[in-house]
């Protein structure tokens, strides 16, 4: 077992990606994710990889698209308003079925918003990261350790599905430091093996008669066929749902929260439990595919209310919770946005109000 090291979320993301075999990174400066490209700028030359500071987010994501087409493990990162400019390249990658990994360290929005943390890109991340109705697996870490573990596995997921994968984190997790245990470094041989497995379709040049074409779109019925195949893939994702049910067995109130909000809620739940209140939490570890069943299977004879906690105004994940709950119990909200941080105290107050209302 490796020793724990004290790392910043963004740097841990970059190191975990390097250890997972990522050898290409393109990015453009935007707060609060600058430590990711800065780390890659130092780290890639050490491992024979490539770092490019692109001229824009539009260029970053298209460099990523090009790099991924060669079979190299490639990643990019940005934040909220920058991620909006990624839509084009992400949509192209989904259509061309290229395995890319990218990170959104969310900040306040809409527009330029605020450089401080938020969770305001949930809908964009889970429903429409670009035109055309494609889907992605979206991982939502709540600790620096989860950043590391999720980034490490994201490349495998992307390559398994030949589809983009998004790490949806925020400016708190991205800039905070925490102790982490890092995964092992993949050897050059392992990395080459992964790349060789992609070689048949890699855009690197082939002997005549074996040419590879990367086409994010087609004529005639070709594009519909691409969509039908993609839909088949999405339908296999029931197995990819990851959800944490925290102290829900006897809970009378359930908090719904993900990422940074979930970790704040956990502390509040502990305090309220100590006071004798039966309160628990359902935390989507991956926000796409969403764990609808965890919510629809709630015993509504026992559970009297759901408190939806997000750093977004208006609430966004609530739409998914509503869809699963179908009005079977009241849902209340505890929200911040625009770069204002949710605090233990605020969640505590909202939970106490809900206790008063429904218990």
349 torsion bin: left (phi>0), alpha (psi -120 to 50), beta (else)? alpha
- Tell me the three state secondary structure of residue 305: strand
Stretch that binds other proteins, among 157-165, 274-282, 311-319, 340-348 (CB under 8 A): 340-348
Nearer to other proteins, 213 or 232 (CB): 213
- State which of positions 120-159 bind other proteins (CB under 8 A): none
Residue 70 within binding range of other proteins, rule CB under 8 A: yes
Of the candidate residues 72, 83, 101, 147, the single one contacting other proteins (CB under 8 A)? 72
The residue (of 75 and 324) whose beta carbon lies closer to other proteins is: 75
Contact string 175-204 vs other proteins (x = CB under 8 A): xxxxx----------------------xxx
Are 115 and 171 spatial neighbours (Cβ–Cβ below 8 Å)?
Answer: yes
Closer CB to other proteins, 12 or 324, in the complex: 12
Our finding on whether 268 is near other proteins (CB under 8 A) is yes
* Residue from 301, 303, 282, 280 nearest 291 by CA: 282
Q: Which helix (H) or strand (E) element contains residue 256? A: strand 253-256
Q: Which is nearer to other proteins, 58 or 233 (CB)?
A: 58
- What residues between 273 and 332 interact with other proteins by CB under 8 A? none
Could you say whether residue 64 binds other proteins (CB under 8 A)? yes
User: Within the chain, what is the greatest distance between any pair of CA atoms?
Assistant: 73
Indicate whether 220 belongs to the interface with other proteins (CB under 8 A).
no
Q: Which residues pair with 75 in a beta bridge?
A: 25, 101
Q: Which is nearer to other proteins, 54 or 303 (CB)?
A: 54
The site for other proteins, by CB under 8 A, has a size of 66
CB-based contact 95:68 (threshold 8 Å): no
Tokens 């995964």 — which residue?
A: 183
CB-based contacts of 35-41 (< 8 A; 24+ apart in sequence): 35/8, 35/10, 35/11, 35/174, 35/175, 36/10, 36/11, 36/77, 36/103, 36/105, 36/174, 37/77, 39/10, 39/11, 39/14, 39/15, 40/14
Rule CB under 8 A: which residues touch other proteins? Answer: 4-6, 23-24, 26, 31, 50, 52, 54-56, 58-60, 62-70, 72, 74, 88-89, 92, 96, 115-116, 172, 175-179, 202-209, 211-217, 260, 263-268, 270, 341-345
């Amino acid at each position: 077992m490796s020793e724990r090291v004290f790392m910043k979320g963004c740097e841990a993301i970059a190191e975990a990606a390097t250890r997972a075999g990522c050898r290409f990174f393109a990015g453009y400066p935007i707060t609060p994710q600058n430590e990711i490209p800065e780390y890659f700028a130092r780290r890639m030359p050490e491992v024979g990889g490539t770092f490019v500071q692109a001229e824009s987010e539009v260029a970053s994501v298209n460099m990523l698209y090009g790099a991924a087409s060669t079979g190299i493990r490639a990643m990019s990162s940005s934040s909220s308003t920058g991620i909006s400019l990624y839509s084009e390249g992400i949509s192209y990658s989904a259509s061309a079925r290229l395995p890319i990994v990218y990170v959104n360290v969310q900040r306040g929005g809409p527009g330029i918003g605020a450089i401080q943390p938020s969770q305001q890109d949930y809908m964009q991340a889970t429903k429409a990261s670009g035109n055309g109705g494609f889907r992605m697996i979206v991982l939502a870490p709540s600790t620096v350790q989860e950043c590391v573990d999720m980034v490490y596995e994201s490349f495998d997921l992307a390559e398994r599905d030949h589809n983009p994968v998004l790490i949806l984190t925020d400016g708190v997790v991205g800039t905070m430091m925490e102790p982490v245990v890092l995964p092992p470094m993949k050897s050059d041989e392992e990395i080459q093996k992964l790349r060789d497995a992609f070689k048949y379709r890699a855009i690197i040049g082939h002997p005549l008669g074996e040419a590879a074409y990367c086409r994010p779109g087609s004529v005639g019925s070709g594009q519909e066929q691409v969509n039908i195949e993609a839909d088949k893939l999405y339908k296999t994702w029931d197995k990819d749902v990851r959800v944490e049910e925290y102290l829900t067995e006897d809970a009378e109130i359930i908090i719904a929260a993900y990422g940074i909000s979930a970790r704040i809620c956990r502390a509040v739940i502990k305090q309220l439990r100590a006071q004798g209140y039966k309160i628990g939490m359902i935390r989507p570890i991956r926000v796409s595919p969403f764990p609808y069943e965890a919510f629809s299977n709630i015993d509504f004879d026992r559970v009297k209310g759901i408190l939806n906690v997000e750093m977004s105004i208006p609430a966004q994940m609530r739409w998914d919770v509503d869809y699963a709950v179908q009005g079977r119990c009241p849902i209340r909200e505890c929200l911040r946005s625009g770069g204002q941080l949710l605090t233990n105290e605020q969640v505590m107050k909202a939970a106490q109000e809900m206790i008063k209302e429904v218990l």
